[in-house]
Chains A and B, each alone.
Chain A
Amino acid sequence: MMGFIFGKLTFAALPHEWYTIGGAYSMVAMGVGVLVVLTYLKRWKWLWRQWLTSTDPKKIGMMYIIVASLMFFRGGLDAGLIWLQQALSAGGSHGFLSADHFQQIFTAHGDIMVFFVTMGFLFGLINLIVPLQIGARDLAFPFLNSLGFWLYVAGAVLINLFFVLGGNFAATGWLAQAPLSELQYSPGVGVDYWIWSLQVSGLGTLLGGINLLVTILKMRAPGMTLMKMPLFVWTSLCSMVLVISVFPILTVTMGLLFLDRFAGFHFFTTGFGGNAMMYTNLIWMWGHPEVYILILPAFGVYSEVVATFSQKRLAGYISMVCATIAITLLALSVWLHHFFTMGAGADVNAFFGMMTMVIAIPTGAQVFNWLFTMYKGRIRFFTPMRWFLGFVSTFTLGGVAGVMMAVPPIDFQVHNSLFLVAHFHTMIIGGALFGIFAGFTYWFPKVMGFRLNERLGRYAFWCWIVGFFTSFVPLYILGFMGATRRLDHYDVSTGWQPLFMVSAAGLVIIACGVALQIAQVIMSIKQRKQNLDTTGDPWNGRTLEWSTASPPPFYNFAIIPKVASRDAFWEMKFSDARASKDKHYEDIVLSKNTAMGIYVAGFVFLVGFALVWHIIWLALVGLFGAIACVIIRTFDEETEYVIPAAEVAKLEAGRNANE
């Protein structure tokens, strides 16, 4: 009977290790703290109405960034633990983490950073900026946007839930390869939490991908042809094309693993004809395009930043678009380079090795175009530009390492060594994360209405770049010295410990950088009245988002702009198109707020949770609840509201008077 009600859930699942107790208490404390603050300030209704149920992509974008930042601290904490353990755990000393715990930490670190931090930040930036850049008021499917965000949150809750219930996360590495992730070798609930947190948030990502693709293709302002779109929109489009192309593969692969674990199927088991190598094949078929999904929008940010801060139009627009498309296509043809050593033979390895080397070419073309944009420009060294320059040096280093590993014989030597770890961290941190920071500092005035403190931003950047090199250059060297990844302990005779300690020192410097970034935001909020962005165009920008006020009105544009060229706003600035007094307003139709996204995501969360613990009745409740909510939603015909033209005129007049 208890088995039926609670599945595998027993009191043993409650926290009893120091870290699960610590983690559970901190999260509960934070949650309670938030509830207390909300109650004290009497902001429940405000939070619900203005934020949680909103379908406005600007609000959803900000919520993505807030959740991604919280997850960043969790992932960063995991990174800190890894650094410390590896610096201390040599010879007689075994550090402070058990082997199993260490394995859970690096697994969680990888998944959180990829799925919840980087993807969260990027979806945030895209939601905030893409509609403004294409002259639209919203995404194509506002309800799906809200639903996608709440599924992301549900996934984030699931990946943290093991602290409170379960005690174990997957100890399999971030991609949970079979057969280690099969029931035989991972009998606990850890891998199931892994599966369901990623399935749930992956579903949100897929819905977001469909939404953004349709938005960019169908909702551009009149006159904005594809070849007049800003580069950030192009790269977001290509990134979403990749999302649509490969996230279903992830869904299938994790689904098959779950069937193996839950229902005794034999896709990847060691017996009964299962083929664990097929798991590796499928998961990397998703996994490689995933890293391009992460990097392409960052490249888009760099294109915007370089043009604005060199005060020159982006060099080679057409070749940039072609390079982006080429990267998108090639991303789908290189996945085997992650398992050259699995033994597919020379023919197969050679093909994928060559394709991997080819993909460096369009990337290089992009870097050259950025440099050409800077050439003979009048460069202004604001924080976003610094992040771009940091990116150029860092990413080039990591990229060269990547091209080396594209050669199978070299890869056989450095596969799964710290050389690999250094490479991909260089790409993700130097490429994607620096791009996120550049985008954040670049668009902050637009979104918030006031500027960021420049000095603290500068210090933060320098801490990050010095800290990054201090941390990861030793790892390249260690890789060549033979250090493999994921080691929780090693022999002193290897001579690795000094380098691990240097790397850990880098951690301290990066932590200073993060602290400075937090300080920057806090200071900027404190000083906001002195730093208001009154023109809407603090950087003398070139693209449409700078034509709106800072922050933009909730309807983005009172009148949808007509676009005649690339760098639409730049053209508008110099052709006096804005000066016309004769404004003809039309009715504006916007999507209403809705709580359905939260409810559906809540039910889906129940499904995931119930399947982790084998509580069948709860899974069915969740499933039918989610379906019922969707059906109820389809009966709702009143999902939009209209702002009459006269009302729009009044709002605009009010805003203009305040400027």
Chain B
Amino acid sequence: MDLYIYNSLSFWGYFMKSQTQTEKSQHGSVRSYTIGFLLSIILTFAAYIPVVIHQNSYHQTFSHELLIPLVLFFALLQLMVQLIFFLHLAGSGSSARWNLAVFISTVCIVLVIVIGSVWIMSHLNYNMMSGSNMNKYIQNQEGIHK
């Protein structure tokens, strides 16, 4: 870890001088990669630590309703960080624009696939349940534990 910080700091000066502004936005720089790296580490821990606390306290600390959106939020943030700092999708060049357009349309398809499947399959499962399973399902959903 130290080696990286040392290396990146010593190269930082060199790279800063040898790149124009547009080059930086299209190809990145040591600075942008380092920022992205550090942010990603922070976001990884930010999601990890609450989950471990939750697990170690036998699911008592932090509820599902809080943790799931929280963890997803950090994942999406880290996605954006990596898209911007590693993949340079926020640039202004025409190729960056096309890449972004293709990416956004693919994300829409991904959402249709995942959310569509979960929606449909959960409805199918619901309608396939036998009487005793239905009882168990309702108990689970309503949080009724014997």
A–B contact at 8 Å CB threshold (below): yes
Does B106 lie within 8 Å of A344, measured CB to CB?
Answer: no
Q: Does B124 contact A (CB under 8 A)?
A: yes
Q: Does B73 contact A (CB under 8 A)?
A: no
Does B127 lie within 8 Å of A343, measured CB to CB?
Answer: yes
Does A275 lie within 8 Å of B112, measured CB to CB?
Answer: no
Does B123 lie within 8 Å of A281, measured CB to CB?
Answer: no
Does A281 lie within 8 Å of B117, measured CB to CB?
Answer: yes
A-B pair count, CB < 8 Å, reads 38
State the CA gap A245–B109 with chains docked (Å).
7
State the CA gap A275–B120 with chains docked (Å).
13
Q: Do A282 and B123 form a contact, CB below 8 Å, given A332-B109, A332-B112?
A: no
What residues on A are CB-neighbors of B109 within 8 Å?
A: 245-246, 332
Does A347 lie within 8 Å of B123, measured CB to CB?
Answer: yes
- In B87-123, the 8 Å CB interface with A consists of 98, 105-106, 109, 112-113, 116-117, 119-121, 123
What residues on B are CB-neighbors of A344 within 8 Å?
A: 120, 123-124, 127
Q: Does B126 contact A (CB under 8 A)?
A: yes
What residues on A are CB-neighbors of B138 within 8 Å?
A: none
Interface of B, helix, strand, loop or mixed by DSSP: helix
What residues on A are CB-neighbors of B105 within 8 Å?
A: 241, 245
Q: Nearest Cβ in chain B — how far from A181, in angstroms?
A: 19
Does B126 lie within 8 Å of A285, measured CB to CB?
Answer: no
Does A285 lie within 8 Å of B127, measured CB to CB?
Answer: no
- In A332-358, the 8 Å CB interface with B consists of 332-333, 336, 342-345, 347-348
Q: Nearest Cβ in chain A — how far from B72, in angstroms?
A: 23
State the CA gap A344–B128 with chains docked (Å).
9
- In A249-295, the 8 Å CB interface with B consists of 249, 275, 277-278, 281-282, 285
State the CA gap A38–B112 with chains docked (Å).
51
What residues on A are CB-neighbors of B113 within 8 Å?
A: 249, 285
Q: Nearest Cβ in chain B — how far from A252, in angstroms?
A: 10
Residue of B nearest to A346 (CB): B123
Q: Does A559 contact B (CB under 8 A)?
A: no
What residues on B are CB-neighbors of A343 within 8 Å?
A: 124, 127-128
- In A164-199, the 8 Å CB interface with B consists of none
Residue of B nearest to A242 (CB): B109
Interface string of B126-144 (1 = CB under 8 A from A): 1110000000000000000
Instruction: From the candidates B106, B116, B119, name the one contacting A245 in the complex (CB within 8 A).
Output: B106
What residues on B are CB-neighbors of A277 within 8 Å?
A: 121, 124
Q: Does A217 contact B (CB under 8 A)?
A: yes
What residues on A are CB-neighbors of B126 within 8 Å?
A: 345
What residues on A are CB-neighbors of B124 within 8 Å?
A: 277, 342-344
Q: Nearest Cβ in chain B — how far from A349, in angstroms?
A: 9
State the CA gap A285–B112 with chains docked (Å).
10
Best-buried of A217, A245, A347 by chain B (most CB within 10 Å):
A245
Does A348 lie within 8 Å of B117, measured CB to CB?
Answer: no
Residue of A nearest to B106 (CB): A245
Residue of B nearest to A349 (CB): B123
What residues on B are CB-neighbors of A347 within 8 Å?
A: 123
What residues on A are CB-neighbors of B127 within 8 Å?
A: 343-345
Instruction: From the candidates B106, B112, B123, name the one contacting A333 in the complex (CB within 8 A).
Output: B112
State the CA gap A246–B113 with chains docked (Å).
10
What residues on A are CB-neighbors of B119 within 8 Å?
A: 348
What residues on A are CB-neighbors of B106 within 8 Å?
A: 245
Q: Do A281 and B98 form a contact, CB below 8 Å, given A245-B106, A332-B112?
A: no
Does B98 lie within 8 Å of A348, measured CB to CB?
Answer: no
Does A282 lie within 8 Å of B121, measured CB to CB?
Answer: no
Instruction: From the candidates B116, B121, B123, name the one contacting A275 in the complex (CB within 8 A).
Output: B121
Instruction: From the candidates B98, B116, B123, B128, name the one contacting A285 in the complex (CB within 8 A).
Output: B116
Does B123 lie within 8 Å of A278, measured CB to CB?
Answer: no
What residues on A are CB-neighbors of B120 within 8 Å?
A: 281, 336, 344, 348
Q: Nearest Cβ in chain A — how far from B113, in angstroms?
A: 6
State the CA gap A278–B123 with chains docked (Å).
12
Residue of A nearest to B117 (CB): A281
Q: Do A345 and B121 form a contact, CB below 8 Å, given A245-B109, A285-B116, A332-B109?
A: no
Interface string of B9-35 (1 = CB under 8 A from A): 000000000000000000000000000
Q: Nearest Cβ in chain A — how far from B139, in angstroms?
A: 20
Does A282 lie within 8 Å of B117, measured CB to CB?
Answer: yes
- B residues bordering A, Cβ < 8 Å? 98, 105-106, 109, 112-113, 116-117, 119-121, 123-124, 126-128
In the complex, given contacts A278-B117, A342-B124, what are 7 additional A-B residue pairs having Cβ atoms less than 8 angstroms apart?
A241-B105, A245-B106, A277-B121, A282-B117, A343-B128, A344-B124, A348-B119
- Could you jot down 17 A-B contacts, CB within 8 Å? A217-B98, A241-B105, A245-B106, A246-B109, A275-B121, A277-B124, A281-B117, A282-B117, A285-B113, A285-B117, A332-B109, A336-B120, A343-B127, A343-B128, A344-B127, A348-B119, A348-B120
- A residues bordering B, Cβ < 8 Å? 217, 241, 245-246, 249, 275, 277-278, 281-282, 285, 332-333, 336, 342-345, 347-348
